[in-house]
Structure 1
Amino acid sequence: MNHNTPLSPRPLHHLSEVRSRVLTAAQLRARSVSAADANEQCRPGGPWQQLLPGVFLLHPGPPTSQERLHAVLVYAAREQRSGGVPAQPGAADPHRPVYAEAMITGLAALTLHGFTATPSLLALDRIDVLVPRLRRLRSTGCARVVRTAALPPAEQVTGLPVAPVPRALADAVAELTDAGAVRRLLTEAVRGGHCEPAAVVRELNNAKLLSRPHVVDAVDSLLAEGRAIAEDRLYRMVQEHGLPDPVWNVDLRLPGGPHLGGLDAYWPEQAVAVELDTRAPRQDEDALWSEYARKREHLERLGITVVHITPKKLRDAMEQQAAVVRTALMAAGDRDPAAYVVVLPR
Structure 2
Amino acid sequence: MTHNTPLSPRPLRHLAEVHRRVLTTAQLRSHGVSTAELNDQCRPGGPWQQTLPGVFLLHPGPPTGEELLHAALLYAARESAPGVPAQPTVDDPHRPVYAEAMITGLAALTLHGFSSAPPLLSLERIDVLVPRLRRLRSTGYVHVVRTPSLPAPRPVAGLPVAPVPRALADAVTELTDAGAVRRLLTEAVRGLHCEPAAVVRELTAAKLLSRPHVVDAVDSLLAEGRAIAEDRLYRMVSEYGLPDPVWNVDLRLPGGPQLGGVDAYWPDHAVAVELDTRAPRQDEDAMWSEYARKREHLERLGITVVHITPKKLRESLEQQAAVVRTALMASTDRDPAAYVVVLPR
- Give distance in 2, aligned partners of 1:104 and 1:280: 26
In structure 1, the partner of 2:124 is 125
Q: Aligned in 2, Cα 1:107/1:299: closer, same or farther, shift over 3 Å?
A: same
In structure 1, the partner of 2:49 is 49
In structure 2, the partner of 1:28 is 28
- Give distance in 2, aligned partners of 1:234 and 1:97: 40
Q: Aligned in 2, Cα 1:327/1:310: closer, same or farther, shift over 3 Å?
A: same
- Cα pair 2:87 2:96 within 8 Å, conserved: no
- Give distance in 2, aligned partners of 1:105 and 1:86: 20
In structure 2, the partner of 1:14 is 6
In structure 2, the partner of 1:293 is 292
In structure 2, the partner of 1:37 is 37
SS state of the match for residue 161, structure 1? strand
- Cα pair 2:79 2:86 within 8 Å, conserved: no
Q: Aligned in 2, Cα 1:32/1:80: closer, same or farther, shift over 3 Å?
A: same
- Corresponding letter in the other structure for 1:60: P
- Cα pair 1:209 1:215 within 8 Å, conserved: yes
1:86 CA displacement: 7.9
Q: Aligned in 2, Cα 1:50/1:345: closer, same or farther, shift over 3 Å?
A: same
- Give distance in 2, aligned partners of 1:297 and 1:179: 39
User: Matched residues, percent identical?
Assistant: 82
Deviation digits for residues 297-344 of structure 1, max 9, x if unmatched? 100000000001000100111100000000000000000000010000
Q: Aligned in 2, Cα 1:35/1:270: closer, same or farther, shift over 3 Å?
A: same
- Give distance in 1, aligned partners of 2:283 and 2:340: 30
- Give distance in 2, aligned partners of 1:182 and 1:302: 44
Farther off after superposition, 37-46 or 127-136 = 37-46
1:13 CA displacement: 2.2
Structure 1 runs (4+) greater than 6 angstroms displaced: 9-12, 84-89, 91-94
Q: Aligned in 2, Cα 1:311/1:11: closer, same or farther, shift over 3 Å?
A: closer
SS state of the match for residue 13, structure 1? coil
1:35 CA displacement: 2.6
- Corresponding letter in the other structure for 1:289: W
The reply to whether residue 64 of structure 1 matches residue 64 of structure 2 is: yes
* Equivalent residue pairs, number: 336
- Corresponding letter in the other structure for 1:238: V
In the superposition, the TM-score normalised over structure 2's length comes to 0.93
Q: Aligned in 2, Cα 1:120/1:89: closer, same or farther, shift over 3 Å?
A: closer
- Cα pair 1:252 1:262 within 8 Å, conserved: yes
- Cα pair 1:279 1:288 within 8 Å, conserved: no
1:235 CA displacement: 0.4
- Corresponding letter in the other structure for 1:13: T
- Give distance in 1, aligned partners of 2:182 and 2:3: 53
1:11 CA displacement: 9.2
In structure 2, the partner of 1:261 is 260
- Give distance in 2, aligned partners of 1:288 and 1:31: 62
In structure 2, the partner of 1:223 is 222
The reply to whether residue 175 of structure 1 matches residue 174 of structure 2 is: yes
Farther off after superposition, 34-43 or 294-303 = 34-43
- Corresponding letter in the other structure for 1:299: L
User: After superposition, where does 1:165-314 map in structure 2 within 5 Å?
Assistant: 165-314=164-313
In structure 2, the partner of 1:6 is none
- Cα pair 1:10 1:31 within 8 Å, conserved: no
- Give distance in 2, aligned partners of 1:140 and 1:328: 59
SS state of the match for residue 185, structure 1? helix
Deviation digits for residues 64-83 of structure 1, max 9, x if unmatched? 1111010000100000127x
- Corresponding letter in the other structure for 2:50: Q
- Corresponding letter in the other structure for 1:325: V
The reply to whether residue 155 of structure 1 matches residue 154 of structure 2 is: yes
- Give distance in 2, aligned partners of 1:147 and 1:267: 50
- Cα pair 1:86 1:92 within 8 Å, conserved: no
Q: Aligned in 2, Cα 1:91/1:28: closer, same or farther, shift over 3 Å?
A: farther
Deviation digits for residues 8-29 of structure 1, max 9, x if unmatched? x999721499632100111011
- Corresponding letter in the other structure for 1:302: L
Deviation digits for residues 252-308 of structure 1, max 9, x if unmatched? 011110110000000000000000001111113433222111111100000000001
- Cα pair 1:10 1:32 within 8 Å, conserved: no
- Corresponding letter in the other structure for 2:183: R
In structure 2, the partner of 1:103 is 102
SS state of the match for residue 262, structure 1? strand
Q: Aligned in 2, Cα 1:292/1:71: closer, same or farther, shift over 3 Å?
A: same
SS state of the match for residue 14, structure 1? coil
SS state of the match for residue 80, structure 1? strand
In structure 2, the partner of 1:329 is 328
In structure 2, the partner of 1:5 is none
- Give distance in 1, aligned partners of 2:264 and 2:312: 16
Could you say what the CA RMSD is over the residues aligned between the two structures, in angstroms?
2.3
SS state of the match for residue 79, structure 2? coil
- Cα pair 1:41 1:47 within 8 Å, conserved: yes
- Give distance in 2, aligned partners of 1:151 and 1:22: 25
Farther off after superposition, 137-146 or 29-38 = 29-38
In the superposition, the TM-score normalised over structure 1's length comes to 0.92
- Give distance in 2, aligned partners of 1:130 and 1:192: 24
SS state of the match for residue 39, structure 1? helix
- Give distance in 2, aligned partners of 1:290 and 1:332: 27
SS state of the match for residue 127, structure 2? strand
1:36 CA displacement: 3.1
Deviation digits for residues 173-212 of structure 1, max 9, x if unmatched? 0010000000000010000110111111110000000000
